[in-house]
Structure 1
């Protein structure tokens, strides 16, 4: 069996701080405008509440100049100037007669990389609309350009409610949108030469039972990761990788299969995720991506967007109630004061005393915090020449005797050159060693290295003798998980279980290699019912893309990673693993009529 360590992305210039690429701390994000006439000004030492003209809506966006002074803002349907007056041609900008007030992230402002006075205003309301604002018009107060040739709908596909901007690497910005009813993402590129209306479409993530519904999408500060959430569907907190050279979203992972959330945000360093769990009484959660630990921090409004501020703090809408003598009909913002810090050390503050907004029929706080402004290149910045020279380092652990297999490079670029002189996107290997491939992207050269090591780590197998789970092999290290979450102090070869569910064990061996296995403890006492399993065939294994299942009845397939986390669910007799990372997975075959588990089989994705 070959075991694969997930791909790590490293910058050659390891000393370059994340802040170089961060967008949340730009002066263009110093003024927030929210619904119900609320706003927030970050230009002082502490943020100060302010008012705006936006009424009830789920989506807003605002942009400031390079000094932090407000330029204009929008709810996706109307545009106001810095004096809070409707901009010329700024009323009902999409000519729909209806607003996009019920779209979570229905408004987005993207500065034109080729013109400091022009801004693209994107509106999401099932379809994608675009307008252009020119701030050189109307005596510097701005005007909506009615002659812009692309004004109106630029995408007629059925889109969802999630839209963010992510900085590219070639003086460009990607506008990323998730589809509504299928596992697809659309990446539209804003360049110095204009807007490209033909999107890069990526297939990634689990297939929803109906739709992805309401909920935010957020990008990490370095632009390498995306997280999405949903208010309705299970397995809704999903993590993805993003390639800023191509706009492709790939390698999805369900982080919290039980969470329902409306808002989500990354910490500044991108290693932690914050969200309010509607299915857990509005508990505000920190999810640590390094140790995979979920920490309950306190209470928030259960339906709230979450946003990283220019001061490096994460903000959310608090529960309504009396606080420090202020009447109970007052809304507050809460914050995470040190969001990079693990666990309770992040300093969760349920309500910031100075950030209160009196509630009335038309004022207060509703649901939303504004979408983030992302610039292709911050004013005055100089990107280092080697910043785009990326190394992708993958470790393969191959059992003996060694079985030949192919190494694959990322397939969407040009001028591939392998260490052996071949020029395709893949090459065969027949023994251990270090291999590499170089190729060109629009952002410069990239090198992938593949370290193939032979290792005699015993094949990991779990057995269950109620109530003890154990492994027969001996390894250098052990760590047990339940439902993808680390079990504290469970670092031995056996585990006494007290409840049903998915348990998994990760073991370490020599040469940096590891192995993982999962086991379901439930109404059955083994990983598969022998009678039903005998009538089911899962092939091929190992697999590069499509797994097929032969069964004697209608089935649903569930893909589970080595830690027992649900990755995706598909109806029918096939499941594509092509977009997922190499490694070990489990295919769970479920009887469509009864929901009964018929078989669970481990597969290796190459």
Structure 2
């Protein structure tokens, strides 16, 4: 939260039940976060070609009554209630009635200057403002300033000073950062052709015209190419919202460009520690803005329809965001500016809407850039947007105290450690048991009495801050009070605590070794029966100052409870888990994968996941845990609904047998024990039983069957036997193919001219698709060309006696 405060800030913190409670009072506001809210005086924006938006209703809404026409820079000022006061392009100032403020013309700002205007409230005043005007880099006037008083012209404002010179020549950059007192301002400019920042202080004496000069970072050059001047004067300069960083975009808007990041000290106004990003993505660098949490920088360029998301910590580009344009009036993207709603808005020159980044703290594309987000009621943007003046959120200060043991017995030093406080402006007061210690006003204290100590600190740097240490430290003599505690979840393990003060403990006993003998709290294992441990605490400064005691640990340790296997995988919807009781473990409870708990030695598992059993011994009080990972793989659910199909196969179309769509399975269709298909649908044109088997990748199977039976009138078997074939190894007609219908079994015998059989084959099933029989060989040798007699015997269930067909086959080689 940001503070708009011109009074002192008082801070108190104290320790209560182990939790730090920080209360910061500033005009009734709580302060504890680095990020604040953009104040109401930034709710109205006027920019571009008569465009404007207001945030007074929450979401930005277009306003079309503005008179401003600026190619680039602009600034707008509202009051604490969000009511418009005035706006400017750096050359002219318009009042809230959208009329030119008397005399507020020719102020020196250029409409083609990146940051042509900056409005700064004087000492948080609501009626006096400094207006800075920045000329474009090709104009000699540089930066000038004027002063606006809202007490003039019946509250519409007027000038009390005009065209006061500040810096010439100058780049087109200017910004402001609040002083750490949230009252004064630092006005930051940059010279052209040098690497010099000029930092001016605006305080209760007005604008101090003698600047602090910091030569740091890159030179903003004046370049000449082909006789035409190009200057690295373009691009915005903006601070982070906590006032600790300063980012500068530098380009000549034609080619080249880079981003630089600096540290800023808002108490001294110092700029330091330059870091630079100069890559192809920064060509034409122009608009920039920090995310609300100051972890990211968003950079736009005048050379591409892209916005780059850059991580502050290492200047790495974390996302490239594409910007869609409707008119494509400009090749690039203009200014970026955070709004009162914490979103970042951007201008596209020549377009009649604003883009927005809805989640600017989110790294990557999840920041949600919307190209055409805020319509402008027919008005158009140009390159600029008004800059909002941020206050510096005050970080939560903290004071800790530490205790150090010096040489000798009970020789102790208390010292302080502060956070977010300037040690050069601190005063101290130590307290013992709630009473101030006389003369104890330094950052350290050597206590002379036992008791509870705390420290109160006051900082008088930029605000009057009072803090109390988060700790109250007890100072005691060298002492030891050992305890031995059985650890219930780990049978046979005992935690030994020395409860030592004033020195380092030294343990002896079973299980003590060099790695743990000096620990105040340690764990020993394999305790069985009664075991005695001794601990001695000796002052590190005085060996004669020590304390020594014994402690006894007694325990009879059962063996840990364990399952036989850590995993169980089954096919089905349930699995019974069993924890078998024994003499050590006689009570059980289960932790289910969904977080529920059930008691008992058995459990019916209905879901996948880890099942943890807690075994308890009512005899010893020990607890042991083990887990089983259960995987339940469901059986595939076949959808073979029809189990009897009566057909005559009257047409040539086969019947489709549908097993159903099943994920992650292998289909197997069988007939008479033989696999005849591996697809979801089996096309059949023959009678009989068909079985479908499916198997999932987990090995779970399901099967079903369907019978295709004939409802045709009885017909005798019919066969067709070719009268010639050519087994001459030319790849054609090499085998005698027999075609049949209605035959359930066939026997083919072929004889030579001497009546000797040279081939006999048997088919036990119908082969309407063709039965491949004789290949023209006898006893492995080709027979000769000539005529051969065949006999074909056929049977079916309607004609069990069968039919015999005879004929002659000619073999041609």
**TM-score, L = length of structure 1:** 0.55
* Distance across 1 between alignment mates of 2:208 and 2:154: 30
Structure-2 change in CA distance of 1:55 and 1:114 (3 Å): closer
Q: Which residue of 2 aligns with 1:58?
A: 72
Deviations along 1:338-368, whole A, 9 cap, x unmatched? Answer: 000010111111111x42453xxxx511111
Q: Which residue of 2 aligns with 1:469?
A: none
Contact in 2 for aligned 1:189/1:199 (Cα 8 Å): yes
Q: Does 1:287 align with 2:299?
A: no
Q: Does 1:367 align with 2:383?
A: yes
Q: Which residue of 2 aligns with 1:355?
A: 375
* Distance across 2 between alignment mates of 1:198 and 1:35: 34
Q: Does 1:44 align with 2:67?
A: no
Query: After superposition, where does 1:18-417 map in structure 2 within 5 Å?
Result: 25-51=38-64, 52-92=66-106, 94=107, 99-113=109-123, 115-125=125-135, 126-145=141-160, 148=161, 151-170=162-181, 171-210=183-222, 211-232=231-252, 234=256, 236-258=258-280, 259-260=282-283, 261-279=285-303, 281-290=304-313, 292-299=316-323, 302-318=332-348, 330-352=351-373, 354-358=374-378, 363-374=379-390
* Distance across 1 between alignment mates of 2:67 and 2:238: 26
Structure-2 change in CA distance of 1:19 and 1:135 (3 Å): farther
* Distance across 1 between alignment mates of 2:399 and 2:76: 33
Contact in 2 for aligned 1:28/1:373 (Cα 8 Å): no
* Distance across 2 between alignment mates of 1:239 and 1:12: 35
Deviations along 1:532-566, whole A, 9 cap, x unmatched? Answer: xxxxxxxxxxxxxxxxxxxxxxxxxxxxxxxxxxx
* Distance across 1 between alignment mates of 2:171 and 2:397: 31
Structure-2 change in CA distance of 1:19 and 1:54 (3 Å): farther
* Distance across 2 between alignment mates of 1:372 and 1:302: 23
Structure-2 change in CA distance of 1:313 and 1:115 (3 Å): closer
* Distance across 1 between alignment mates of 2:74 and 2:93: 10
The count of corresponding residues between Structure 1 and Structure 2 is: 370
Deviation at 1:206, TM superposition (A): 1.6
* Distance across 2 between alignment mates of 1:79 and 1:234: 34
Contact in 2 for aligned 1:24/1:309 (Cα 8 Å): no
* Distance across 2 between alignment mates of 1:287 and 1:221: 16
* Distance across 2 between alignment mates of 1:130 and 1:36: 24
SS at match of 1:139: helix
* Distance across 2 between alignment mates of 1:199 and 1:18: 32
* Distance across 2 between alignment mates of 1:102 and 1:390: 51
* Distance across 1 between alignment mates of 2:178 and 2:257: 28
Deviation at 1:35, TM superposition (A): 2.2
Structure-2 change in CA distance of 1:166 and 1:21 (3 Å): farther
Structure-2 change in CA distance of 1:91 and 1:237 (3 Å): same
Q: Provide the aligned C-alpha RMSD in A.
A: 3.7
* Distance across 2 between alignment mates of 1:247 and 1:156: 18
**TM-score, L = length of structure 2:** 0.42
SS at match of 1:120: strand
Structure-2 change in CA distance of 1:415 and 1:333 (3 Å): closer
Higher relative contact order (CA 8 A, sep 6+): 1
Show structure 1 runs of 5+ residues with no match. Answer: 1-10, 321-329, 377-382, 392-411, 418-438, 446-606
* Distance across 2 between alignment mates of 1:152 and 1:23: 34
* Distance across 2 between alignment mates of 1:389 and 1:108: 36
Query: After superposition, where does 1:412-561 map in structure 2 within 5 Å?
Result: none
Deviations along 1:485-508, whole A, 9 cap, x unmatched? Answer: xxxxxxxxxxxxxxxxxxxxxxxx
SS at match of 1:229: strand
Structure-2 change in CA distance of 1:185 and 1:48 (3 Å): same
Deviation at 1:58, TM superposition (A): 1.3
SS at match of 2:365: helix
SS at match of 2:132: strand
Deviation at 1:68, TM superposition (A): 0.6
Deviation at 1:22, TM superposition (A): 5.5
Structure-2 change in CA distance of 1:271 and 1:109 (3 Å): same
SS at match of 2:209: strand
* Distance across 1 between alignment mates of 2:172 and 2:36: 22
Show structure 2 runs of 5+ residues with no match. Answer: 1-10, 14-19, 25-29, 136-140, 223-230, 325-330, 401-421, 428-458, 466-813
Deviation at 1:263, TM superposition (A): 0.7
* Distance across 2 between alignment mates of 1:319 and 1:75: 16
SS at match of 2:246: strand
Deviations along 1:203-224, whole A, 9 cap, x unmatched? Answer: 2112244353211111111011
